[in-house]
Amino acid sequence: MKILSIETSCDESAISIVEAFGGLKNPEFKVVSSALHSQIEMHKEFGGVYPSLAKREHSRNLVPLLKEVLSGENGDYTKISEDKGRKIQKILEREPRLLELFQEAVPNLKKPNIDYIAVTVGPGLEPALWVGINFAKALSVAWNVPVIPSDHMEGHIASVLSGNKEKIDFPAVALLVSGGHTDLYEIKKWGEYKRLGGTRDDAVGEAFDKVARLLGLGYPGGPEISKLAEKSRSREPHHEEKWKMPRPMLNSDDLDFSFSGIKTHVLYLVRDMSNLSPENKESIAREFEDAVIEVLVQKTKKALEETSAKTLIVAGGVTANKELRKQMKKISKILGVPSLLPPQELSTDNSTMIALASFLKLNYSKQKFEVNPDLEAQGNLEL
């Protein structure tokens, strides 16, 4: 089965075509083609993501990305009747630039041999999500293909199915760490997610981004902080006590997190320092990373023990962090619970993971998926 998937929940516009085999017990995937446009360079200028700018960029980028992923197709050209043309016009009326590009390009593209279109409906920035949803609906009409609405976080979870040979035994525990989320879930089986706990304030990726800004580093902050932290580790194996930062909620009775305190700690530290030398920045970055990871590992360990989980899944943009990957692998080994993390390139937002999640949904849900369904962006969608 082939799925074309679309992701526009934040600052990456992405489209993939993925071939899926097997069922829920042994899903296997082959990425046929995949294209991604990151808006990071643009958002860098503003130090963060602005929803209206993200929306505009998605509108500009989706059609070029579609051309790229369809370049290997050799079916018939897409025929758009007058009736379909009117429907498409209505669907894309709030995205005039996208409509223009669509009308210009799609009739000249080969209709791909796909069974479904998958699209992220949430969580994320609603103006950005709408662009992907309307694009999916317009393509659904043009090609007469049903749409699977997908959850971005389920996408992150499913990202571990790529490149990992290891089988997932249930119950599993998933730690999701991204720019908007820090959550622990128990997965009893595919489609059954129980939230065990999560952050009470900032998401961990958000904390990385905010601390990076305090240190005068670029956006997104995660990769910048981790670069500096690594420099500090190679400079001095043992870190001086004086940099010690708090580990909020490390020993609390629940599976919740709080990261805004560490961020405030850094704020005061930076404010009270007359000289923020490169070495000082590296030390702060390292201690911040260590503090955050220690709490993440400790709470994940607690979740694994409380649920007697047989598999650990760690997913979301922050799993691009090498030290986090290393520490999670270490605890998984100590506890004897196999761990799955996404391959580096599927850690941060992408559309391949949306195809994988939609394939799972197709298999576990009793839902019937329709051509041109009524869909809405759900900014706060919960698993």
Closer Cβ to ligand KG4, 48 or 373, answer by number: 48
> 68: burial class by Cβ within 10 Å (0-12, 13-18, 19+)?
middle
Distance between CA atoms of residues 50 and 31, nearest Å = 31
122: left (phi > 0), else alpha (psi -120 to 50), else beta? left
| Footprint (CB under 6 A) of ligand KG4, residues 210-249 | 220-223, 226
Query: What is the rounded (10 degree) CA torsion for 360, 361, 363, 369?
Result: -140
Letters for 305-344 (x = contact with ligand KG4 by CB under 6 A, - = none) are -----------xxx-xx-----------------------
Closer Cβ to Zn ion, 16 or 178, answer by number: 178
Residue ranges with strand state E in 46-93: none
Distance between CA atoms of residues 146 and 33, nearest Å = 20
Closer Cβ to Zn ion, 178 or 351, answer by number: 178
From 8, 16, 159, 178, residue interacting with Zn ion (rule: CB under 5 A): 178
Contact predicate 275/323, CB 8 Å: no
Distance between CA atoms of residues 129 and 135, nearest Å = 10
Task: Provide the β-strand partners of residue 118.
Answer: 5, 148
- Shortest Å, Cβ 217 to ligand KG4: 10
- Shortest Å, Cβ 56 to Zn ion: 20
User: Residue 349, interface with Zn ion (CB under 5 A)?
Assistant: yes
Contact predicate 80/89, CB 8 Å: no
- Shortest Å, Cβ 37 to Zn ion: 16
Closer Cβ to ligand KG4, 103 or 164, answer by number: 164
- Shortest Å, Cβ 78 to ligand KG4: 31
User: Residue 372, interface with ligand KG4 (CB under 6 A)?
Assistant: no
The residue among 349, 316, 35, 273 whose CA lies nearest residue 177 is 316
- Give the type of residue at 286: R
User: Residue 290, interface with Zn ion (CB under 5 A)?
Assistant: no
Contact predicate 32/19, CB 8 Å: yes
Letters for 128-167 (x = contact with ligand KG4 by CB under 6 A, - = none) are ----------------------------------------
Size of the site for ligand KG4 (CB under 6 A): 20
Using CB under 6 A as the criterion, which residues of the chain lie in contact with ligand KG4 when the complex forms?
10, 178-180, 205-206, 208-209, 220-223, 226, 316-318, 320-321, 348-349
